[in-house]
Each structure stands twice: as C-alpha cells, then as structure tokens.
Structure 1
C-alpha cells in the first residue's frame, strides 16, 4: 500500500493517490492485480482454475502498463482497445482460454481541448467518481445480474445477494472477443476517483462507499478504510482499491 503525489500533465493540478489489495477472509489466493502510474490507474480481477485467475489478471495489467509505457504520445481510446486486445491474446495463449479477467480504470488524456479521464471497463470491476458530495458509477457492469436488473427481473437490492452475482458476461481471455466500454469525463480539482474490484462492491453499498470517500481522509487512509470495512462485512472475495484525488497545484 502506498500514498503518492504526482503532478498531472497540465501542470495546474496534482494527483494524490493511494492503493492496496487484500486476499479477503475466504480465499487462498489473491487473483486481483492492479497498475498505478502517474496518469494510469487500473484494477483487474481474475477468474479461472487454481492460479489461472491470478495469471490472467497479471497479464492484463502487464499488457496495459507496457502499452501505456511504450506509447509515443497521448493515449487514445483506439490505443486502449489495442492494449486490451493484446491482453486478451496473452491470456488465451498462456491459459488455453481457460481463464479470464475483468479490467477497469482510467487514464488522463487531452480531449476536446481539456484534461479528461478516459474510463475503460470490461467485466464487473468498477470505476467511480466522487465529486461535490455525490458518488457516480462511471462504468456499467458486464454481468448477468446487471442484465436481469435492466430487464426488470430483479431489483437493485437483490443484485448483491443473487446466486448469479459473480457470473460476468464479458471478460478478457475468455468467451467471445468483445471490446471494452469507454467514457470521457472532465478532470477538475476536488474530484476523487475510485477504481475497485467487486470484493469491495460485493460487501459495501454505494452509500457506505460514498460515506467513506466523503470523510476527508487521505487517499491511502481511505483505501485502508474501504478494505477494512469490506473485511468487516464478510470479506468473501479478494478486494483491491485505488483512490485518486485531483487537487489544485
């Protein structure tokens, strides 16, 4: 776990961030992986047989980080999709298409003449934005229960305890080759970005998460608090959390 401060590319804002991961209380292996740079933040949650999920998530963040590092200029949505395609290929080759992983996060980009978060997602790990006292989910879960909710079959309250809550409909390394979802949102001082695996959202409600994000603690203290609370609520899964604050320089 760490707490870092880095200037954002425009020089007028600073990013202050923390991150951490825990195996949880019921799992033997931590199949989550993450990547944290000065402008790229992402979490992957692997799934598969013994250790295969760990391999899948590690390969996903490795491909993402290597693509970001090797890029000659600013990252675009096309670049990100190429990184995801590379990750998908690496995972299928390494595991025989018997493992998969989610991947979500955000990268700082210049778009529409302003600094923005380019948010990406595949699977049911999530990226949120907390701003002006409001928590907003920037990603849409690619999961069976999300589709059931959108079809009116189950309620929002039933999602967290539904027996199929862990069945995802889109992943890297497994199933059909599908693109990620992408969205842009402007970067402004006072924002708090949260990137997490479902080990957090499976234990805490959005309201509980929002209360912790709004408490005013440092990014690293907030990460530690979120992980601690997820363990107190049962810790049924690996939990990985990144919190990024956008501050005036």
Structure 2
C-alpha cells in the first residue's frame, strides 16, 4: 500500500504509543489456522494512529515467531514515519534480527530463555562489560538502543556511558502500586529516574502493565517521556473494543496526561 494513501491519524501526542503485538501471536499459536493475523493487527493499529509496533521474539517462539518478525518488517516499509522496535536479550536471538533488519530501535531486555515475562532491568555496572559490544554493534548499524531498566536514578549515567540512546523504564512496580497507599512514593521514583536519564542525555521510554487506568497519570508525572510500549492490556482491551477504538483510547490517555502536565 502506498503510504500516501493511508488515512491521516489525529495529531500525534509528544509521547509515542508503540503497540506490542506478542499477545496476538500467542492467541494464534493455540491453533493451526493462522488467525488472528499478527500483521493485520499491526496494520489496524497503525491505521488508528499508533506510532510504532513492538515485538519481543523469544527463542522458544511461544508467541512471536521468526517469520512474524520479518513479515512485520515488510509491513513497516509502507509506514516510514512509524517505528519498528524489536526487543529481547542480545545474548539470545535478538542480534540476528538486528543485523538483518536494522529496525529503528532495539530494546535490550535481560530475560532468561524460559522466563515467563520481563520482570527486571539491567544492573549497572555489573552488566556493562557484556552489553558494551552489542550496543556498539547496534550503533554501527544506525539502530537506536534502549536499555530496559528499573527506576533507579543512580544507574542512568552508567547507561549513557555505555552508549545507550534511551532507557525503557520497567513499569510493573508502578502498575502494582496503582490505587494503593504507596502509589505516590513509587511514582516519585519514576520521576526521579526519568529526570536522571534526561540529565545524563538519555531519552526515556516506558513499558510493562501500563493500561487505560494508569497511563494518563504516568504520562503526566514522568518528565520527558518519549514512548510507551504497551501490549497485554491493549490487546486485551482490543478483544472487546476492536483495535482501532482501543488504540484511539490509549492515545487519548496519553493526550490527557500531556495536557495535565502542561
């Protein structure tokens, strides 16, 4: 499809929404019927205004498969103003995809091969020595590098010193604290971590368990937020609302947060 013929989405908020389509693939993989279609889901999200698509292909292909990664890369060629973000552990299968496809962004996540889901960020300086050559390789390929990190302000300067372009703040602790007495204190840690990242010269992304309830507040309170990557909650909402309505609802949350922060 010619990109010039795509419907024009509403004006984009400053914080971009990247839709993680892993859970579409997980549902598809329960049968042998090739439905739901991962690339169709991605296309519908892009048509609704999502600024990017994220995949996290694990070695066991429990959801996103190798073929999906390449088919999505082909799809993204028709959307040159949108971002393809491939995330995963560079010690496993991630770097093969990065070397071949050269997506706009690679997000390094310290997952174990059999880990249920991402549940912690990199530890610096402990992980610095092994991360450095992978980051340098991505930079040589003109691929932006984002490191999945816990909201620890003390580690942000070390991430920048390694050559990372951005950090993705791991937000499950924020989601778990939502509506609880500790919510304000937890959110304060994210504000401090984001500010430390900005002070170090890093861009700030975020993701994991963000949803329509907690997203606007996070966008309002966390400075310099460039991108949120959302999968599980967004795809669950899409089962009820459809992809288009769901993406527009999440973009509305982002705009509400941005407006409240202004």
Q: Looking at secondary structure, tell me which structure has more strand per residue.
A: 1
TM-score range, shorter chain: 0.3 to 0.5
So what's the TM-score if we normalise by structure 2? 0.31
If asked which structure has higher relative contact order (CA below 8 Å, sep 6+), I would say: 1
So what's the TM-score if we normalise by structure 1? 0.32
